[in-house]
Chain A
Amino acid sequence: MIPVQTKKKKEKMQSIEEVVQCPECGSTHLTKDYSRAELVCEDCGLVIDEDLIDHGPEWRAFDSDQREKRARVGAPMTYTIHDKGLSTVIGWKNRDSYGKSIPTRNRAQLYRLRKWQRRIRISDATERNLAFALSELDRMASGMGLPRTVRETAAMIYRKAVLKNLIRGRSIEGVAASALYAACRQCNVPRTLDEIAAASRVSRKEIGRTYRFIARELGLKLMPTSPQDYISRFCSELKLSGDVQAKAIEILKDAADKELTSGRGPTGVAAASIYIASILCGERRTQREVADVAGVTEVTIRNRYKELAERLDIDIIL
């Protein structure tokens, strides 16, 4: 019985999916007019839907104090906490629900309650491992200054790996680091293995190996990283201007057309194109400086740079 019901539910879900295209002119520029509760096409002016439901809160708040008082919900669900952030914690303030401070003779009791609640949050070994892995993930992500989305993705990948029993026989830190590496790539902000290795306590080799394993087992369809994704980050680390960045991306586009990137490490190609672009734009950086930022050797830059200059007919006067 149950599977049939869920199937029906799914069908219903699909039928109420949002309209993304104007049925009249086919435009995708639709706006929700909240004051009129209408869905309007911006191009032809057709009112597609009316009497929209406003999902926002029914109250208004004008400062943070009011917001805190009126909100009846907590933080959104997150995969980066082992219980998805759904459990509650006994607050650290020694106050009861009326805001009155708790008498001193009950303080010790509250302290004990807090202690046991903290201990009880983690019920068994699997959960403890998950909590450890997720805190490790968060530590690495904070160390590298990665955004929320990447952390959530990494936590999701790690959870999937746990469900498929892929952790067994591998270190928690290793799997967490490679989940983070995969998440960075999935969110199109790739970090090099060296950068992840520096933030974690795992060697680059181990991360690479574990990453390949979980990518294969979980069927993560990840495109090979392209050198373009590294350009803006490396350029800003080298304090290069936007012109250099644009030039480097242009060089990479030409290089990709001539198949100069196939089988070459993306960071090496990116570094060489930045090096060339910096010279062409008169903001020269030495091979050494570029190499340090990109995490490749000067020899790699020289080799890639020769290939690029030769095949793309770029004259470089030093």
Chain B
Amino acid sequence: MPEVEVENIVASTSFAEKLDLDVIAQSLEEAEYEPEQFPGLVYRLSNPKTATLLFRSGKANCTGAKNIEDVETTIKIIAEKLRKLGVEVYEKPEVVIQNIVAISDLGGELNLNEVAIALGLENVEYEPEQFPGLVYRIKEPRVAMLLFGSGKIVCTGARRIEDVSIAVDKLSDELNSLGLIHK
């Protein structure tokens, strides 16, 4: 079975009812806050290497993590920092994973023209003029797969880590049974 590597996890959470971003921006060194350009405050961590967007409503998005533990530590670190500033923060912020992006390799080259026809033209999106990959959306689990001529695939839109491997296995079985992977 193809090996799956998670590249990015996007999660959202809520730290408080509301946050005073001006105060946070002034007291935290690493914070980037330019309300003229973007209403959120960007907070980058180097370990784990993630970036978090904090909003006035107290909600936050954490991006760039490669596994779920990183998301949790990021949230913990930020909550800790905020507490030190005297900002009231929820005891245990609830973390919801919004998107997981993973890559994998089918282990052989694909002829995307054949793949598009075999999977059904109505199920796929393949416009070499606009994008070199073929987009295949599957319903169960609900993810979008990007297939490339080299056999590498990107799986996006999953909400759980297991979904990625289920989807990749499903796709690889389907393509194998159609004999479309050229070793």
Structural contact, B129 and A262, CB atoms closer than 8 A: no
Binding site for B on A (CB under 8 A): 192-193, 208, 212, 216, 219, 221-225, 256, 259, 261-267
Instruction: Mark B residues whose CB is within 8 Å of A.
Output: 109-113, 116-117, 121-122, 125-130, 132-134, 148-150, 182
Q: Which of A208, A224, A259, A267 contacts B126 (CB 8 A)?
A: A224
Write the chain B residue with the least CB distance to A221. B121
B111 and A225: CB pair below 8 A? no
Decide: B148 and A263 in contact? CB cutoff 8 A: yes
**How many A-B Cβ pairs are below 8 Å?**
55
Tell me which residues across on chain B come within 8 A of A222, comparing CB atoms.
Answer: 121
Q: Is the CB of A259 within 8 A of B111?
A: yes
Q: Are B109 and A259 in contact (CB under 8 A)?
A: yes
Residues of B close to A264: CB separation below 8 A: 128, 132, 149
Docked CA distance A225–B116 (Å): 12
Other A-B pairs beyond A193-B129, A216-B125, 14, CB < 8 Å: A192-B129, A222-B121, A223-B116, A223-B117, A223-B121, A224-B112, A224-B126, A224-B127, A224-B128, A225-B128, A225-B129, A259-B109, A263-B128, A263-B149
Residue in B111, B125, B148 with the greatest tally of chain A CB atoms within 10 Å: B111
Partner of B122, one of A221, A224, A225, A259: A221
B129 lies within 8 A of A263 (CB): no
- 13 A-B pairs, CB-CB below 8 angstroms? A192-B129, A208-B129, A216-B125, A223-B117, A224-B116, A224-B128, A225-B128, A259-B149, A262-B111, A262-B149, A263-B128, A263-B148, A264-B128
Residue of chain B at shortest CB distance from A215: B125
Residues of B close to A224: CB separation below 8 A: 112-113, 116, 126-128
Alpha-carbon gap, A223 to B120, bound state (A) = 10
Which residues of the other chain, A, contact B134 by a CB distance below 8 angstroms?
263
Measured CB to CB, the closest approach of chain B to A299, in angstroms, equals 15
How far, in whole Å, are A71 and B178 apart by their CA atoms in the complex?
58
Distance in angstroms from B114 CB to nearest chain A CB is 8
Q: How far is the CA of A226 from the CA of B36 in the complex (A)?
A: 46
Query: CB distance B130 to A193 under 8 Å?
Result: yes
Across-interface contacts of B125 in A (CB, < 8 A): 212, 216
Report the separation of the CA atoms of residues A222 and B149 in the bound assembly, to the nearest whole angstrom.
Answer: 20
Residue of B nearest to A226 (CB): B113
CA distance A212 to B127 in the complex (A): 9
- Considering the complex of A and B, which 9 residue pairs feature the smallest CB-CB distances, nearest first? A263-B149, A263-B132, A262-B149, A221-B121, A262-B112, A262-B111, A208-B130, A259-B111, A224-B126
Q: Who on chain A is nearest to B117 by CB?
A: A223
A265 to B113, alpha carbons, bound, how many Å? 12
Report the Cα distance A314→B77, complex, angstroms: 60
Q: A216 — which chain B residues lie within 8 A by C-beta?
A: 125
Interface centre among B112, B117, B128, by most chain A C-beta atoms within 10 angstroms, is: B128
In this complex, which of B112, B130, B132 has the most chain A Cβ atoms within 10 angstroms of its Cβ? B130
Residues on B with C-beta less than 8 A from A221 are 121-122
Complex contact A263–B121 (CB within 8 A): no
Instruction: List residues of chain A with CB within 8 A of the CB of B122.
Output: 219, 221
Chain B residue at minimal CB-CB distance from A223 = B121
Beta-carbon contact of B110 and A266 below 8 Å: no
Report chain B residues within 8 Å CB of A212.
125, 127, 130
Q: Inside 8 A of B126's CB, which chain A residues have their CB?
A: 224
Judge whether B112 and A263 touch: CB under 8 Å.
yes
Residues on B with C-beta less than 8 A from A261 are 113, 128
* A221–B116 CA distance with the chains assembled, in angstroms: 11
In-complex Cβ contact of A259 among B121, B129, B148, B182 (8 A): B182
B34 CB, min distance to chain A CBs, angstroms: 26
What is the CB-to-nearest-CB distance from A258 to chain B, in angstroms, rounded to a whole number? 10
**Cβ contact within 8 Å between A262 and B127:** no
Kindly report which residue of chain A lies nearest to residue B116, judged by CB atoms. A224
Q: Which chain A positions have C-beta within 8 A of B110?
A: 262
Nearest-neighbour CB distance to chain B for A83, whole angstroms, equals: 32
Nearest-neighbour CB distance to chain B for A48, whole angstroms, equals: 37
User: What residue of chain B has the Cβ atom nearest to residue A269's Cβ?
Assistant: B128
